[in-house]
Structure 1
Amino acid sequence: MTSPDLAARQRSLERIARVARAMDTRFVLPGGFRLGWDGIIGLIPGVGDSIGLAVSGWMILEAHRLGAGRGTLARMVGNAAVDWALGSVPVLGDIFDIAFKSHRRNLALLQREFGAQARPADG
């Protein structure tokens, strides 16, 4: 891969890391517990978890475009599906959604896949 390709991959991975942080760990609650937009949006009945799934879909498409392997992509799809299915359950699903942090899990998969190219997002 040429240097510009590596730079473009790095920018994409950094963008994915920023989105994962915003979705899963953007806000710090008392006691240090972190909450993101996914947990807040997930409270909207009927559509909240589907919005989170759409963001996960974007992350998975980006991972595919960057050349992530089939195993990594399959695990990312699995994380997104579990988050959507269990997060859709009223009340208990909202608690699960806040704790599971599927976007951060998928970011970690990409960090393992691409090694040092994926810098972790703070939080």
Structure 2
Amino acid sequence: MAFEMPIGNDPASVRKRIEAMEHLLERSFTIPGVNYPVGLDSIVGLVPVVGDLVTAAMGAYLVWEARNIGLPKWKLWRMAGNVAFDTAVGAIPIAGDAFDLLFRSNTRNLRIVKRHLDKHHPSSRVIDS
């Protein structure tokens, strides 16, 4: 069963792509026994320097997609701040890796985008099952 990503520039397609990226970065795996969801942000962040830069670039993709749907600049700056803060603190050895498990910048950014889309593009809203 293949999952197809929408390629359009309409708000509904952008919303699906941002949700998929957030899921990949923050909740794609579950720690057995604890049932705590983790994603590539936490796992790849274990690799010093390179891991944090890769996840920062993936987080910046969410900001770029949000720019394409017309989010106000102050919301884009807030999203960029979330990614920058996550990257800066995540770069600290050991403590930064623990921080990556708790501070989910991409989930925060998804929430910002969803609020904007629900208000300005209600047709892109999807009922969660």
- Give yes or no for TM over 0.5: yes
Which residue of structure 2 aligns with residue 15 of structure 1?
A: 17
State the superposition RMSD in angstroms: 2.0
Q: SS at the partner of 2:107?
A: helix
Q: SS at the partner of 2:97?
A: helix
Which residue, 68, 71, 75 being the options, matches 2:74?
71
- The answer to whether structure 1 residue 60 and structure 2 residue 68 are counterparts is no
Using the aligned pairs only, state the percent identity: 31
Instruction: Summarize the Cα distance change of 1:121–1:60 in structure 2 as closer, same or farther, 3 Å threshold.
Output: farther
CA separation in 1, counterparts of 2:108 and 2:14? 17
1:32 Cα deviation after fit = 2.1
1:120 Cα deviation after fit = 8.3
CA separation in 1, counterparts of 2:97 and 2:60? 20
Structure 1's unaligned 5+ residue stretches are 1-5
Ranked by relative contact order (alpha carbons within 8 Å, sequence separation 6 or more), the top structure is: 1
Which residue of structure 1 aligns with residue 52 of structure 2?
A: 49
CA separation in 2, counterparts of 1:42 and 1:121? 29
Q: Which portions of structure 1, spanning 4 or more consecutive aligned residues, are displaced by more than 2 angstroms?
A: 116-122
CA separation in 2, counterparts of 1:44 and 1:20? 20
Which residue, 93, 102, 107 being the options, matches 1:104?
107
1:98 Cα deviation after fit = 1.6
More helix by share: 1
1:31 Cα deviation after fit = 2.3
What CA deviation, in whole Å up to 9, does each residue of 1:65-90 have, x standing for no partner? 11011121111011001000000000
Structure 2's unaligned 5+ residue stretches are 1-7
On the 8 A contact 1:21/1:121 being kept in 2, the answer is no
